[in-house]
């Protein structure tokens, strides 16, 4: 009996002594519960850039819907099927639940805990930069869905977030951008090297915020012209001044920080995409020097007939028979695009046509946009001069009204920027898009994403209210700023 007691005492002592070791076993050493705010901000930046620039058909199909690329075998997404892969749910997940906005918002929460320390000014700059980046992400979500959870979106305690009207979200974003622009201090630091886009350059973020304001202001031009004008005019002096101000993600040659197009196309050996005839035919028609930087040539005859040749958009397009995406774009360290000076120039060309007080004429901005794009893609000044001298390109003689001229050249210049190009088409109704195999007319080309299917069962009351508020949860329901949807294709 005495021996039994001794055994119990020894075992009890061993259990007490091993408690800390058991706790170590139950702790995930590779995923710490407390992460620095700067680290989360960097991670959020990468996740956001990956989402914006990738072409994974489960998460981002804008290069298809902008009719830059088309699919080789499985043509569901080019034919506007977003249900089979539940793409809206994936976008919600990558923005809200597991991705960019979640990390960026958590970074802000952690950084706010440092308020009141001697580094107060730097902390405030960080918080304003986070606010700007959140504005950018929410702007994209509104332009995708029309209405989104906004005020409740990042509240993890609210499993039934209400949807907020797109116009209200736009107004709130613009207010947040104004606050950030006024609050940022360029004489004080911010994130330093943890800022993957601008290396902590506060002045660069101020320009980014003003450029985003102009983008949003121009987008509002048809629905609220007075607001659009005031937004653009208030931001013009503080926006991008040249291509050096572009917001880019510097991808690297080594995993896991490679260009997502390389990861999804080259490293996996997939042959899912070829050039779409919508873009290639237009660029061929205009003798566009950027074509050689966008795509490869193909021998269509087997007898040396080397040309740029795109697959018919929305139809099966065998990989070996059509031009491919240029290998430079698929390089592991090809940078990601967030927002660029070229993009801004075409917005300002629109602003000039709408009569806003901007320094240059629409033609001058148009010419600058074309010039900057060609030079950035590796063309020469001679290429620029020859291109702009063509009657089919020159602003005074190019086909159509200003919406057609600016819309077409902006679309060509936005290559790799799928959502921006698709949004330009929705706003200006140009260029003329092709009719995919499984639709009958231009009026059936979608103008928005439907809400995630899971919202109907997990958040039914708010889903129903939002579906009614946007005018019906349909692919062809226009976004609130789209006042002239589905202009008929003149070829129909």
Alpha carbon 460 to chain centroid distance? 28
Which residue's entry shows tokens 């950018």?
136
Angle between helices 120-145 and 37-53 in degrees, nearest 10 = 30
The pTM for the full model equals 0.91
Look up residue 52 and give its two tokens.
């914006």
What lies within 8 Å, CB to CB, of 459 at 6+ separation is 159, 160, 161
Angle between helices 418-428 and 120-145 in degrees, nearest 10 = 60
208 vs 248: CA distance, rounded Å: 11
Report residue 71: phi and psi, to 5°. Answer: -95, 155
Per residue of the chain (492 residues), give pLDDT as tens: 443 443 333 333 433 444 444 344 344 444 444 468 999 999 999 999 999 999 999 999 999 999 999 999 999 999 999 999 999 999 999 998 788 999 999 999 999 998 777 788 999 999 999 999 999 999 999 999 999 999 999 988 888 999 999 999 999 999 999 999 999 999 999 999 999 999 999 999 999 999 999 999 999 999 999 999 999 999 999 999 999 999 999 999 999 999 999 999 999 999 999 999 999 999 999 999 999 999 999 998 766 778 999 999 999 999 999 999 999 999 999 999 999 999 999 999 999 999 999 999 999 999 999 999 999 999 999 999 999 999 999 999 999 999 999 999 999 999 999 999 999 999 999 999 999 999 999 889 999 999 999 999 999 999 999 999 999 999 999 999 998 765 555 444
What the chain holds in terms of domains, given with CATH numbers, is 37-66+83-250+447-470 (1.25.40.390), 260-321 (no CATH)
Beta-sheet pairing, 298-299 with 306-307: antiparallel
Alpha carbon 231 to chain centroid distance? 21
HSE value, Cβ hemisphere, 13 Å, CA-based, for 285: 15
105 vs 122: CA distance, rounded Å: 18
């Amino acid at each position: 009996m005495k021996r039994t007691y001794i055994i119990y005492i020894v075992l009890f002592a061993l259990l007490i002594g091993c408690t800390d070791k058991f706790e170590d076993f139950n702790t995930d050493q590779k995923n710490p519960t407390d992460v620095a705010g700067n680290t989360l901000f960097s991670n959020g930046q990468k996740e956001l850039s990956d989402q914006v620039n990738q072409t994974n058909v489960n998460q981002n199909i804008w290069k298809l819907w902008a009719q830059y690329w088309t699919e080789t075998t499985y043509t569901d997404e080019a034919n506007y099927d977003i249900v089979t892969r539940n793409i809206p749910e994936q976008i919600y997940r990558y923005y809200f639940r597991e991705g960019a906005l979640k990390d960026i918002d958590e970074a802000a929460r952690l950084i706010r805990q440092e308020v009141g320390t001697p580094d107060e000014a730097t902390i405030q700059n960080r918080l304003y930069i986070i606010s700007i980046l959140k504005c950018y992400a929410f702007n994209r979500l509104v332009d995708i869905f029309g209405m989104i959870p906004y005020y409740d979106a990042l509240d993890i305690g609210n499993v039934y977030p209400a949807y907020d009207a797109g116009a209200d979200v736009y107004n709130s974003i613009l207010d947040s951008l104004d606050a950030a622009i006024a609050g940022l201090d360029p004489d004080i630091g911010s994130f330093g090297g943890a800022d993957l886009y601008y290396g902590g350059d506060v002045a660069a973020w101020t320009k980014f915020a003003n450029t985003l304001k102009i983008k949003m202001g121009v987008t509002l031009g048809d629905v609220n012209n007075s607001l659009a004008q005031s937004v653009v005019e208030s931001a013009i002096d503080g926006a991008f001044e040249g291509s050096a101000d572009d917001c880019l993600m510097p991808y690297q040659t080594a995993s896991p920080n490679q260009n997502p197009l390389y990861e999804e196309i080259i490293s996996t050996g997939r042959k899912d995409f070829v050039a779409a005839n919508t873009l290639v035919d237009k660029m061929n028609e205009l003798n566009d020097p950027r074509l050689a930087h966008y795509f490869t040539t193909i021998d269509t005859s087997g007898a040396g007939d080397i040309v740029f040749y795109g697959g018919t958009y929305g139809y099966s397009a065998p990989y070996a028979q059509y031009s491919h995406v240029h290998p430079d774009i698929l390089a592991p360290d090809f940078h990601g695009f967030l927002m660029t000076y070229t993009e801004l120039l075409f917005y300002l060309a629109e602003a000039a046509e709408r009569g806003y007080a901007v320094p240059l004429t629409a033609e001058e901005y148009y010419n600058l946009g074309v010039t900057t794009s060609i030079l950035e893609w590796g063309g020469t000044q001679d290429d620029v001069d020859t291109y702009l001298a063509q009657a089919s390109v020159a602003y005074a003689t190019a086909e159509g009204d200003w919406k057609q001229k600016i819309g077409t050249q902006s679309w060509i210049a936005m290559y790799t920027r799928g959502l921006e190009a698709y949004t330009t088409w929705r706003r200006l109704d140009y260029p003329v898009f092709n009719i995919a195999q499984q639709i009958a007319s231009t009026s059936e080309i979608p103008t928005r994403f439907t809400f995630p299917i899971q919202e109907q069962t997990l958040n039914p009351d708010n889903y129903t209210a939002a579906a009614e508020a946007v005018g019906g949860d349909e692919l062809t329901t226009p976004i609130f700023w789209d006042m002239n949807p589905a202009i008929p294709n003149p070829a129909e």
